[in-house]
A and B are shown apart, each in its own frame.
Chain A
Amino acid sequence: MSPVGTMNLDLDNETRAFRAEVRSWLATNVPTTPLPPVETPAGDRAHRAWERRLAAAGLSVVSWPTAYGGRDVSPLQWLIFEEEYHRARAPVRINQNGLFLLAPTLFTHGTAEQRARLLPRMARADDVWAQAWSEPEAGSDLAGIRSRAVRTDGGWLLSGQKTWSTRAARADHAFGLFRTGVDRHRGLTYLMFDLRAAGVTVRPIQQVGGAAGFAEIFLDQVFVPDADVLGVVDQGWTVAMSTAGHERGLSLRSPGRFTAAAQRLVRLWCQAGAHAADPGLSDRVVAGWIAARAYQLHSYGTATQEAADRTPEPPPPPGRADRPAQTGSTALRGSGHAASMTKVFWSELDVALHEVALDLLGPYAEIGGLPANSAGRADDAGDADAWLDGYLFSLAGPIYAGTNEIQRTVIAERVLGLPRDRR
């Protein structure tokens, strides 16, 4: 036998240059004072303006093909972009529902006309997109959707109610599933609609903490042209699920978020003097750092593998047929169901990192950060409520995009091969 392989964590020159370019641009361009909250009118304008600046610099959709405003970078380079973006504390992506949920579906199932019409405007946030999946009676049981799309001349008429629609209060368009047939799963169609169209009523919903981050959408005979059906009529469930991995997996909450949060947590821990004082808290900081690092490395592996999968590979080696291949990381690649593992992991990691931070802050947790002029305050703690906002945000993670209970069932059945529930 000969020495069998090498591994490294060193980026190639092209990727290092890309990282340097992104870091340098962000250092010059990220606003020094945080933008107003994205849910407010002023915040909405400011975040759209920020997206236009990103787009003008060619940095709003780096992983997309150049034809739609992207730079066609590798999955690894996209991860690097996200690391830098979060490291720089750059503004929240107002169009993330469009960029990270709808766009992958358009690339897979959309027509050339839809891509040409929708993607460049999305890349510049000319159109901001909201998701419209959940309904009052269809949450975890998403296939229980009741909102209907009824055939009419040249299109469809939408009626019903959607809820928990992120960004819907101020977005321009939304996408979701509508009932077009009686079959639970094969009677749903993926449709995109204009939130300003006649028959649409949007009612913002205040969240824990007070922000109106999501909304209810009431639909009364809202016309949608055939051109805005995504994929095949009645096949909407398949269309949505084929890219559900994007929401659960890497793209919606990119590893960069947790890498940056873990680094900030370590700084907070040191500057608060807690690294020397409290072994219990220190253990939790260490545990959080390990988990964030695990997720970062895991995503590097996924990205590297995705790139490798774009080229033909030799058949798998013999001799492993008797082992459940599903349990190895390499065997899980590209599977939408494997993204369920990722989703459970990052959502619980996110909560844990913020809980430790709040415990470190102690009586200052309820104001979200150490007060100005306090000895332990970090240099970059300008946004005093960042940890509190982050905590509130993190608490939604185990709920949205399929609750973690649903994800664990999916993992057990689709990844581990256990028999299906009676449901």
Chain B
Amino acid sequence: MKLTPSAEQEQFAAALHAMLTEADIPAVARQWAADDPAPGQALWRQLAELGVTGLAVPARWGGLAAHPADLVVACEELGHHALPGPAAESIAALPVLLTALGDDALCETWLPRLANGEVIGTLAVPPHVPYATDADVVSLVLRADEQTLRLGVPGPRLRSVDGTRRLVEVADGALLATGPAVGPAIAHALNAGALACAAQLLGAGHALLETTLRYAGQRTQFGQPIGQFQAVKHQLADVAIGLEFARPLLYAAAVALADHPSTAARDVSAAKVACADAAQRAARTALQVHGAIGYARESGLDSWLTRIWALARTWGTQSWHRDRIRTALATGALT
């Protein structure tokens, strides 16, 4: 029984945190949103050097074959820093999808290059993920539906509330796989993408809590820091509680993905629901405590707010995830 991060995982997170702190992510994100993806792509190559992009890739294809909990640790950091780019797609869902399909030719073509950072990938999985994030600035675009996997042909770009999420409509391209193996592989990919998404939400929620605590300690009104008012304190306490109790669900979902396939869907959904709820509470409270300055773009809060608004509803809506839990509970209780 082990459900807390190991010393190695702490060190991995610390290394990633140091690297991302060093990079000027707000500037990189602005450039990414403004059609200059080069600095962001360079940052992704640094992620590859740290091993992040190879975590979910099997050793046979040049990856680290890491435990899903390591993916959680990494994605929490990426969310904490609001890194631009298709993290849930390229780091989690795509490697899991290609691996699960078991087509050696496909794996050989893409997995080593996803792992070593040469390729960033994305995919659309309608209806959960209707657009392919960043499809116009990455080199692998897939489109998966229930029974088939195809290359995706990027079409018009749509404007996301999060300017760094370059949402692109994708049309069907060349058929890559079809048949009974595809559905389960896509289901695996959805779980992996949802887990990565949940981890980013938790990290982003923590970032907002930390930023808001600093602000509440500095901003003075009525002759005292606003963080001294109970009305503010209690809201921030609730944010902390929400984040604190979402994390164990995230790690348990990672464990289920690794070891307990029969509860994986239920546990991933519980993690996604709890992390999205906790992050949205953090976002709402961060904005309220900052007041007008938080509503102004110059505060920089919007990087996390808009990311949370987007991620909370993609890779499965809250309703869809709750429904998966409902089904699992009803089945379990009635059998």
Contact = CB atoms under 8 A, between A and B. Distances in A.
B233 interface: yes
Contacts of A141: none
A317 B217 CA distance: 27
Interface stretch (B89-97, B183-191, B324-332): B324-332
A297 B252 contact: yes
Contacts of A285: 326, 329
Contact of A412 (B1, B236, B254, B334): B236
A305 B4 contact: yes
Given A3-B65, A295-B245, A322-B21, A286 B234 contact: no
Contacts of A417: 213, 217
Interface string A382-423: 000000000000000000000001011101110111111110
Contacts of B217: 417-419
B248 A4 contact: no
Contacts of A270: 329-330, 333-334
Contact of B245 (A12, A298, A420): A298
B238 interface: yes
A5, A320, A332 interface centre (most CB from chain B within 10 Å): A5
B244 A416 contact: no
B216 interface: yes
Given A418-B213, A419-B217, A282 B6 contact: no
B248 A294 contact: yes
Nearest to B248: A297
B326 A275 contact: yes
Nearest to B55: A3
B21 to A, nearest CB: 7
A327 B233 CA distance: 14
Contact of B259 (A10, A290, A313, A420): A10
B4, B210, B217 interface centre (most CB from chain A within 10 Å): B4
Contacts of B73: 4
A293 B270 contact: yes
Interface stretch (B133-141, B193-201, B220-228): B220-228
A2, A12, A15 interface centre (most CB from chain B within 10 Å): A2
Interface string A264-276: 0011011000010
B129 interface: no
A76 B1 contact: yes
A420 B228 contact: yes
Contacts of B273: 286, 290
Nearest to A289: B329
Given A324-B210, A417-B217, A418-B213, A317 B233 contact: no
B14 A304 contact: no
A317 B73 CA distance: 15
Interface in A20-42: none
A4 B66 contact: yes
Contacts of A418: 213, 216-217, 225, 227-228, 232-233, 236
A327 B17 contact: no
B243 to A, nearest CB: 7
Contacts of B230: 405, 408-409, 421
A310 interface: no
A419 B224 contact: yes
Contacts of A209: none
A18 interface: no
A327 B243 contact: yes
Report whether over half of chain A's contact residues are helix, strand or loop; otherwise say mixed: helix
Contact of B69 (A6, A76, A282, A313): A6
B45 interface: no
Nearest to B66: A3
A154 interface: no
Given A7-B2, A282-B326, A418-B213, A344 B237 contact: yes
Contacts of A8: 1-2, 255, 258-259
A330, A408, A413 interface centre (most CB from chain B within 10 Å): A408
B10 interface: yes
B240 A4 contact: no
Contact of B50 (A1, A5, A318): A1
A306 to B, nearest CB: 10
Contacts of B246: 294
A300 B209 contact: no
B8 interface: yes
A297, A332, A422 interface centre (most CB from chain B within 10 Å): A297
Interface of A: 1-12, 15, 76, 266-267, 269-270, 275, 282-283, 285-287, 289-291, 293-295, 297-298, 300-301, 304-305, 308, 313-314, 316-320, 322-324, 327-330, 332, 341, 344-345, 405, 407-409, 411-413, 415-422
Instruction: Return the 8 tightest CB-CB contacts between A and B, nearest first.
Output: A412-B233, A297-B248, A1-B51, A319-B14, A5-B6, A411-B237, A408-B237, A418-B227
7 contacts: A5-B67, A9-B3, A298-B244, A319-B15, A327-B240, A409-B237, A418-B232
Given A3-B64, A320-B13, 15 more contacts: A3-B67, A5-B8, A5-B9, A7-B255, A322-B21, A327-B210, A341-B240, A408-B233, A408-B234, A408-B238, A409-B233, A418-B213, A418-B232, A420-B228, A422-B228
